[in-house]
Copies of this chain bind each other. A is one copy, B any other.
Amino acid sequence: MTRENKDKVESCACNIIREEVVTQAKEYMPQEEILVDLAEFFKIFGDSTRIKIVSALFTSEMCVCDIAALLEMNQSAISHQLRILKQARLVKYRREGKVVYYSLDDEHVQQIIECGLAHIKHK
């Protein structure tokens, strides 16, 4: 028995098997907050409605009604999702009278989508 129980982390019932690997990983990992933000960011893309909206906006800016028609969903659902995309700063909007046009607001979005597509098509 090479390790005492006092060394194990409270919330895990197991003993650490290779401590140097754990401490090394702890050192090199981005800090907690960044990883939480990162998950929060990917969560935005983790819904097919939002992916479709973003995907549609690659072609052109569009108003809420047009997106709703395109995706065959009701206006309210689209509006709710656009709010989430707006809060995440992935889309921006401009008002023209009664109509609100949405468009992409991030140079990384296309890159990330394509990155994801590369994975999908590969496996």
Contacts and interface: CB of A to CB of B under 8 A. Distances in A.
Nearest to A12: B68
Given A12-B74, A28-B58, A75-B12, A22 B116 contact: no
A8 interface: yes
A45 B59 CA distance: 26
Contacts of A50: 39
Interface in A68-118: 68-70, 72-75, 89, 99, 106, 108, 111-113, 115-118
A107 to B, nearest CB: 9
A22 B115 contact: no
A66 to B, nearest CB: 5
A22 B72 contact: no
For the complex of A and B, 4 pairs with smallest distance between CB atoms: A14-B65, A43-B46, A42-B45, A46-B46
Interface of A: 8-18, 21-22, 24-26, 28-30, 34-48, 50-52, 55-56, 58-60, 62-66, 68-70, 72-75, 89, 99, 106, 108, 111-113, 115-120, 122-123
6 contacts: A24-B59, A29-B52, A36-B48, A41-B120, A46-B46, A108-B122
